């Protein structure tokens, strides 16, 4: 649900960004091989150059930028400082920032993670955060509450594209539903009556094939779809995977765009091509 007072909900801001800038999320994944491909050293200086170049190229034109926290954290406090600047500069330039940290814990620890990434007073405040529900969906309550209060959003791991995920996500509960379907039903409840789009989304791999058995449209929230580009999925395949929920899909591309750096024009042209291809199939 949305509220008449307080910050504008993430779902509202995301719908507007996708409608005006195109439905695309580009990852900021400065892993060692990409730094090397860009001619950069695998150190904090290389990390900052990579992140700032990506932000300069894309933050004023793509809907969502998604820094992968792990690739910054591996450099310790100096890397986290780069992440802080990356998040702030991307948001200042107009992009929505989804920090990909996949946090999941219980009680006060989950509340601390929520305060770190979802509280507007935090230097790492992001428009949205990826979280894991596999300590029980209810363990995410502090993150849900903090997100609502700050106009932020969550993307909850539901149907991930890695083969190891099946043993948990496709497990069948006593009531006959899969764990993944249960996660999606919880998200539908969070987004009940939200217009034009709920703020609590799911991570659903674009490489998974026909997902018509799952209540994706009922989520009424964004569906982050990794796997476009280097992992083999294409924008043209999105309707077959997501069916009636395809307009709420946020396709996520990382290497498919980043491989064109450090040339800023190359990064921009690649992102534009992906966004245009998605527009053609989504409408």
Integer angstrom CA distances of residue 69 from 125, 141, 175? 13, 22, 36
Mean pLDDT confidence for 92-113? 98
The domains of the chain are located at 10-173+189-282
Q: How confident is the model at residue 1 (pLDDT cuts 50, 70, 90)?
A: very low
The residue that leads in pLDDT, 240 or 229, is 240
**Which among 66, 102, 259, 280 is annotated as catalytic?**
102
Does the predicted model carry a pTM greater than 0.85?
yes
Confidence check: pLDDT of 5 > 80:
no
CATH number of 10-173+189-282: 3.20.20.70
Q: Is residue 102 annotated as a catalytic residue, yes or no?
A: yes
Looking at residue 230, its pLDDT comes to 66
Task: Indicate the average pLDDT of the chain.
Answer: 95
């Amino acid at each position: 649900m949305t509220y008449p007072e307080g910050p504008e909900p993430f779902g509202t801001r995301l719908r507007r960004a996708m409608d005006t800038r195109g439905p695309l999320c580009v990852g900021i994944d400065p892993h060692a091989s990409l730094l090397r491909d860009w001619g950069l050293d695998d150190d904090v200086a290389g990390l900052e150059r990579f992140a700032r170049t990506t932000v300069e190229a894309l933050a004023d034109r793509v809907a969502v930028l998604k820094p992968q926290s792990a690739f910054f954290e591996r450099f310790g406090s100096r890397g986290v400082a780069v992440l802080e600047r990356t998040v702030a500069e991307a948001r200042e330039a107009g992009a929505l920032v989804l920090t990909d940290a996949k946090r999941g814990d219980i009680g006060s620890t989950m509340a601390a993670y929520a305060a770190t990434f979802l509280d507007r007073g935090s230097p790492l405040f992001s428009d949205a955060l990826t979280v894991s529900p596999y300590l029980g969906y209810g363990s995410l309550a502090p993150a849900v509450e903090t997100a609502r209060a700050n106009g932020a959003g969550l993307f909850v791991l539901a149907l991930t594209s890695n083969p190891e995920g099946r043993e948990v996500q496709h497990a069948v509960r006593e009531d006959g539903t899969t764990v993944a379907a249960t996660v999606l039903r919880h998200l539908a409840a969070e987004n009940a009556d939200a217009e034009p789009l709920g703020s609590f989304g799911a991570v659903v791999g674009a490489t998974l094939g026909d997902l018509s058995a799952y209540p994706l449209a009922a989520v009424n929230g964004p569906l982050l779809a990794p796997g476009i580009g280097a992992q083999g999925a294409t924008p043209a395949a999105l309707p077959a995977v997501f069916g009636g929920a395809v307009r709420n899909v946020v396709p996520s591309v990382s290497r498919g765009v980043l491989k064109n750096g450090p040339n800023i024009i190359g990064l921009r042209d690649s992102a534009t091509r992906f966004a245009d291809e998605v527009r053609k199939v989504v409408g």
